[in-house]
Amino acid sequence: MLKPRALKPGDRLAIVAPASPFTREEFDPGIEEIRRLGFVPVYDETVFARERYVAGPPEVRAAAIHAAWRDPSIAGVIGVRGGYGSTQVLPFLDREQARRARKPFIGYSDLTAVLTFLTIGCGLVAFHGPMLAGRLSRGAAGYDRDSFVKAVCGQEPIGELAPPGLETIRSGEAVGPLFGGTLTQLLASIGTPFAFTPPAGHILFLDEVGERPYRLDRMVTQLRQTGVLARASAAVVGELPNCDEPSGDPTARAVMADLFRDFSGPVIIGFPSGHTTGPAMTLPLGVSCRVIAGGRPRIVIEEAAVE
């Protein structure tokens, strides 16, 4: 995997909106948090474009990403929010341009489509991390600053991540490159030129929000039938907020435990990255990760994500 260049204080970060539109009330506090992190936020008026439920025409959204990749004064790229629309920009993105730029790209949720394009399609490490709306805009309540800074700035491995609430579904230990993102977007890519096709032995990270247990069952079943689960050496599942049945039974965690009962490797659940009720941790996708599932479940990022 090709690694992006490390960010440093004073670097300029391009703000892009590949998915849904947003309000200034969501945007402006996120801009201030980027400044508090020591970076310089950069954007133009196209970021505020609105076309029904997306942030402007896909060509315009893709052009903003390309402009950030081409501009030598821009060190990294971060999304404003998820929602829907990232898949529309993929046909307009240039893989070679992304590889030449070698700039950190940070996002989650619907931006899983772009993360997959970069990691699977370009062989470039990318970051399942906080965006402006709902995360950076809330400061310490919205994201875990330590893992974010270590992931995008540190030239040493992040190391051990053992957040409270992490549970073991299947015990064991495994190591492999970490890939994944929001389950809905991973499945939406299957059968397209931008398909999620991680290598054998990978660590699979699955995030999701607001999907009832039977829908989780349907999606994980489809993921198994595509062969992706068979190629994974371990699975790390997110917190799955708002995914329990409204009556409380079954819970999302109980359904996931059942779905992974025959999985061959370790499985842990409750990792707070992406959709989470607390501060979201940043995960570098494409780097070596060790999953340790047992009495004290944890993951260990064993490789620096930037250089």
pLDDT band for position 293 (50/70/90)?
A: very high
Which residues in 278-306 are b (16+ Cβ under 10 Å) and which e?
ebbbbbbbbbbbbbbbeeebbbbbebbbb
Residue 5 located in a structural domain: no
Do residues 24 and 147 share a domain? yes
Residue 4 located in a structural domain: no
Q: What is the side-by-side strand order in the sheet with 105-107?
A: 40-42, 12-16, 74-79, 105-107, 126-128, 283-285
pLDDT tens for 21-64 read: 999 999 999 999 999 999 999 999 999 999 999 999 999 999 99
Tokens 């540190």: give the residue: 154
Do residues 132 and 78 share a domain? yes
pLDDT tens for 153-208 read: 999 999 999 999 999 999 999 999 999 999 999 999 999 999 999 999 999 999 99
Do residues 169 and 149 share a domain? no
Q: What is the mean pLDDT of residues 106-133?
A: 98
- Look up the domain containing 85 and give its range: 12-153
**Other beta carbons less than 10 A from residue 39's beta carbon:** 21
Out of 93, 123, 153, pick the residue that ends a domain: 153
* pLDDT number for residue 281: 98
Do residues 134 and 198 share a domain? no
Do residues 16 and 117 share a domain? yes
Which CATH number is 205's domain given? 3.50.30.60
Residue 7 located in a structural domain: no
* Structure token pair of residue 267: 């499985």
Using the Cα atoms of residue 204, residue 240, residue 158 and residue 104 in order, give the sign of their dihedral.
Answer: positive
Residue 123's Cβ-side half-sphere holds a number of Cα atoms within 13 Å equal to 5
Q: Are strands 267-271 and 167-170 parallel, antiparallel or unpaired?
A: antiparallel
Out of 113, 138, 153, pick the residue that ends a domain: 153
Mean pLDDT, all residues of the chain = 97
Number of domains comprising the chain:
2
Do residues 171 and 106 share a domain? no
Do residues 144 and 219 share a domain? no
* pLDDT number for residue 11: 98
Residue 92 located in a structural domain: yes
Do residues 27 and 146 share a domain? yes
**Other beta carbons less than 10 A from residue 133's beta carbon:** 24
Out of 119, 153, 187, pick the residue that ends a domain: 153
